[in-house]
A and B are shown apart, each in its own frame.
Chain A
Amino acid sequence: MSVEKQRFSVIGQPLPKIDAWAKVTGETRYADDLVLPRMAYGKLLRSPHPHALIRRIDVTRARALPGVYAVITGADLPRVKFGILPVSQDEEALCTEKVRMVGDAVAAVAAVDEETAERACRLIEVDYEPLPALMSIEESLAHPEVRIHEYGDGPNVHKNVSLQFGDLEAAFARADLVREDVFYYEGNTHLPLEQHAAVAQWGPDGKLTLWSSTQTPHYVHRLLAVILGVPAAHIRVIAAPVGGGFGGKLDPFAHEIAACRLSQLTGRPVKIALTREEVFYVHRGRHPVLMWIKTGFTRQGDITGCHLRTWLDGGAYGSYGVASTFYTGVVNPVTYKMPVYKFEAARIFTNKPPCGPKRGHGTPQPRFALEVQIDKAAEQLGLDPVEMRRRIVAEPFTRTANHLTITTIGLGECIDKVVAASGWRQKWAGWPGGRRRSSGPRRRGVGFACSAYLTGAGTAIYWNSMPHSGVVLRADRSGAVTIQCGATDIGQGSDSILAYLPAEVLGLSPRDIHVHPADTSLTPVDLGSYSSRVTLMCGMAAIQAAERLKAVVARAVAAKLECPPEALAFRDGRVGRPDDWERALTFAQAVELAEARHGVLAFPGSYAPPRRAGKYKGGGVGPSPCYSYTACVVELSVDEETGEITVHDVWIAHDVGRALNPLLVEGQVEGSVYMGLGEALMEAQVFRKGLHKTPSMLEYKSPTALETPEIHTILVETDDPEGPFGAKEAGQGPLLPVLPAIANAVYDAVGVRVDEVPITPEKILKGLEARRQGKPARVGPERIPVFRFRDPIVVESAFGLPAENVAVRPFADGPDGGARP
Chain B
Amino acid sequence: MRVRVSLTVNGEQREVLVAAHKTLLEVLREDLGLTGTKHGCELGECGTCTVLVDGVPILSCLALPVELEGRAITTVEGMARGGQLHPLQQAFAELGAAQCGYCTPGILLTAQALLERGAPPTRQEIREALAGNLCRCTGYTKILDAVELAALRMAAAGGRGAAP
Interface, chain A (partner B; CB < 8 A): 14, 16-17, 19-30, 32-33, 35, 190-195, 241-246, 275-276, 490-493, 663-664, 666-667, 670-675, 696-698, 702, 704-706, 708, 710-711
Contact = CB atoms under 8 A, between A and B. Distances in A.
A491 B102 CA distance: 9
Query: Which of B36, B99, B104, B143 has the largest count of A CB atoms less than 10 A from its CB?
Result: B99
B84 to A, nearest CB: 11
Contact of B139 (A191, A490, A671, A698): A671
Contacts of B35: 26, 29, 33
19 contacts: A16-B93, A21-B93, A23-B101, A24-B104, A28-B101, A193-B40, A193-B136, A246-B136, A276-B41, A491-B100, A663-B142, A664-B96, A670-B142, A672-B139, A673-B139, A675-B136, A704-B132, A705-B128, A705-B133
Contacts of B143: 705
A24 B92 contact: yes
Contacts of B92: 20, 23-24
A26 B103 contact: no
Interface residues of chain B: helix, strand, loop or mixed (majority): loop
Contacts of A702: 134, 136
A24 B137 contact: no
Contacts of A710: 141
Contacts of B138: 667, 670-671, 674
Contact of A25 (B33, B76, B99, B133): B76
A191 B105 contact: no
Interface in B47-106: 48, 75-77, 79-80, 85, 88-90, 92-96, 98-105
B98 A696 contact: no
Contacts of B128: 705-706
A362 B84 CA distance: 46
Given A191-B136, A245-B100, A710-B141, 4 more contacts: A24-B108, A25-B80, A193-B134, A671-B138
B140 to A, nearest CB: 4
A25 B40 contact: no
Pairs A-B, 4 closest by C-beta atoms: A26-B36, A491-B100, A674-B139, A23-B101
Contacts of A671: 99, 136-139
Contacts of B96: 14, 16-17, 20, 663-664, 666-667
A244 B102 CA distance: 8
Nearest to A662: B96
A25 B48 CA distance: 14
Given A24-B108, A702-B136, A666 B142 contact: yes
Contact of A30 (B42, B75, B102): B102
A193 B37 contact: no
A492 B99 contact: yes
Interface in B101-156: 101-105, 108, 126-128, 130-144
B41 A696 contact: yes
A192 B100 contact: yes
A193 B102 contact: yes
A342 to B, nearest CB: 36
B15 interface: no
B162 to A, nearest CB: 14
A10 to B, nearest CB: 16
B157 interface: no
A438 to B, nearest CB: 22
